[in-house]
Amino acid sequence: MKPKILITYRIPKEGIRELEEKFDVVYPEKEEFSPADIEELIVDCDAVLSVFIRPINAELIARAPKLKIIANFGVGYNNIDVAEATRRGIAVCNTPNAVTEPTAEMALGLMLAVMRRIADTDRSLRTNPDFQWGMMRNLGFGLTGKTLGIIGMGRIGRALARRAVASGMKIIYNNRNRLDESLEKPLKATYVSMDELLERSDVISVNTPLTEETHHLLGEKEMQKMKNGVFVVNTARGPVIDEKMLVKYLRNGKIAGAGLDVFEEEPKITQELFDMENVVLTPHNATGTIETRIETAREASQNIIGFFSGRKDISIVNLEIFA
């Protein structure tokens, strides 16, 4: 019998054709399977292709004695109880390749939108009949010559750095480990301590995964160290930034503006953020392009296909299961 694969959400069929040819795929007729559906269907499945909005927790994993792999649709996998999966010898995979370029595009787009006041002035032109034009009105800030501090210099951080360098920005970064010089040099990127990054950056972009260590990585203490008038962009995970403190420092002007694609308790968003003209909000949509959705589906499918073919060169995040 073919292994049974549960896909919890209607992802693009173009990306899962090979998976459907090789396996018994359970695919939702409507937009998604409900939590109750997943609880029932997962019982006899060999693999799950999961999406962020449907957590795969310890209780679900315990209901699936045949489960061998959880392939996440996306690079972030904090929707999966990786520790429980590892304890049971279940591989957990993500899709880092498909999401890299679109997420970097969104980070740069948010940066431009908030610094050049694109979203702010668009709203005013549409809704305010008394909107004032003028050479010295509606002024923002340019990117050229500004220092961009990147927190998390993985694939997405480096893709953002390439775009920022092309815009004339200076790049400093903090990462768990310093990059090899061969990666730093083309980006003209300088490795600095977190404190130095906070003190020097005109713009700070968060590009780190959410872990116990990065939860509230940017809190009140860190915001106090930031340069006055800094801009903050987050396309990573909402809880990396203390949202209440962000509101506080946006209000007092220490932080000049923010571009946010992710939120601490999404889809709930702190109400004060809606009322701030110097904040640009997008609905966790950094990877929201047609091409990316298809490619992410394909990459997640290839993780499953590769796993059942005995390959270990796929994007497994808990390689310790093979130890």
Catalytic residues, which ones? 237, 266, 284
Q: Which tokens go with 95?
A: 């899709």
From the list 84, 68, 88, the residue with the least C-alpha distance to 308 is 68
- The answer to whether the bond into 35 is cis (omega within 30° of 0) is no
Contact 38, 60 (CB under 8 A): yes
Contact 284, 60 (CB under 8 A): no
Q: From CA 296, how far away is CA 52, in angstroms rounded?
A: 13
Give residues with Cβ within 8 angstroms of 218, minimum separation 6.
Answer: 151, 204, 206, 232, 240, 241, 242, 245, 246
Q: From CA 129, how far away is CA 127, in angstroms rounded?
A: 6
Contact 282, 258 (CB under 8 A): no
Q: From CA 151, how far away is CA 134, in angstroms rounded?
A: 37
Q: What is the 3-state secondary structure (H, E, C) of 126-141?
A: HHCCCCCCCCCCCCCC
Ordered alpha helix ranges (H), the chain: 17-22, 35-41, 58-62, 82-87, 96-115, 118-127, 155-166, 181-187, 194-200, 220-225, 243-251, 271-274, 290-308
